[in-house]
Amino acid sequence: MAGVDVDADRATALAQLAPAHEDFLRRHRFDPAMVATAEQVHGGKVVMVGGPGLHRGADALVTDRPGLTLGIYVADCAAVYLADQNGRAVGLVHSGRAGTALNITGRTIDLMRTGFGIEPADLVVHLSPCIRPPLYETDFAAEIAAQARDAGAGQVIDDGICTGREVGRYYSYRVERGRTGRMLAVLQLLP
């Protein structure tokens, strides 16, 4: 974000970005007090959430609570948005190489099926900008898309944008050698 010094470690960069992220939320009619975030440990844990706050050990969140905003931070990993076409639930996944190897997107789709009764064919899955070859050795975006299709997702959309090629617009952990900001991805089930 313009004017925010993010040449720092993750915790410092997030603290410095917090006012800008909260301003973004307010300008887009999200209540900053109603945000559930994932700790993001590059794992495979998916959590059903019913209220705001930090969910430790999780890399993916799902909810059927209208008005609750799901949030994750990314800086080369993909934010994977999952929305039920019938408006019953949403999910938001942080998936990089490790989460993709653990099939966190497939796990999230499965939890939405078992936890909310949503047929995978009713889900729209959208991958955010993320790092891609040749700037990264693994095309985890293609793997995420394949895993979503294999899990039965009705529609899978990948914008194809590489964060590392557009550092002026996106943060890139790899290109900026770890001293960078984080983009806040948010998703909400409308009331």
Count Cβ atoms below 10 Å from residue 113 Cβ, excluding itself.
16
How far apart CA 65 and CA 76 sit, in angstroms, is 28
Name the one residue in this structure whose structure tokens are 């993750």. 10
2-11, 13-22, 95-104: range with highest mean pLDDT = 95-104
Q: Which of 173, 109, 97 is nearest to 147 (CA)?
A: 109
Total-model pTM: 0.91
Token output for 124: 């729209």
* Dihedral sign from CA coordinates of 34, 16, 95, 54: negative
Q: Which domains are delineated in the chain?
A: 10-188 (3.60.140.10)
Query: pLDDT: is 2 or 69 the higher one?
Result: 69
- Mean model confidence pLDDT for the chain: 90
Name the one residue in this structure whose structure tokens are 């899990």. 151
* Dihedral sign from CA coordinates of 175, 135, 161, 77: negative
Q: How confident is the model at residue 169 (pLDDT cuts 50, 70, 90)?
A: confident
pLDDT digits 0-9 by tens, 134-153:
999 999 999 999 999 999 99
How far apart CA 17 and CA 52 sit, in angstroms, is 19
Residue 93's pLDDT is 98
How far apart CA 47 and CA 61 sit, in angstroms, is 5
Q: Per-residue pLDDT averaged across 95-101, rounded?
A: 95
Residues 45 and 36 sit within 8 Å (Cβ to Cβ):
no
Q: How confident is the model at residue 80 (pLDDT cuts 50, 70, 90)?
A: very high
Residues 35 and 25 sit within 8 Å (Cβ to Cβ):
yes
Q: Per-residue pLDDT averaged across 59-72, rounded?
A: 97
Could you tell me whether strands 78-84 and 90-95 are parallel, antiparallel, or unpaired per DSSP bridges?
antiparallel
Q: Which of 190, 125, 181 is nearest to 9 (CA)?
A: 181
Which residues face 187 on adjacent strands?
70
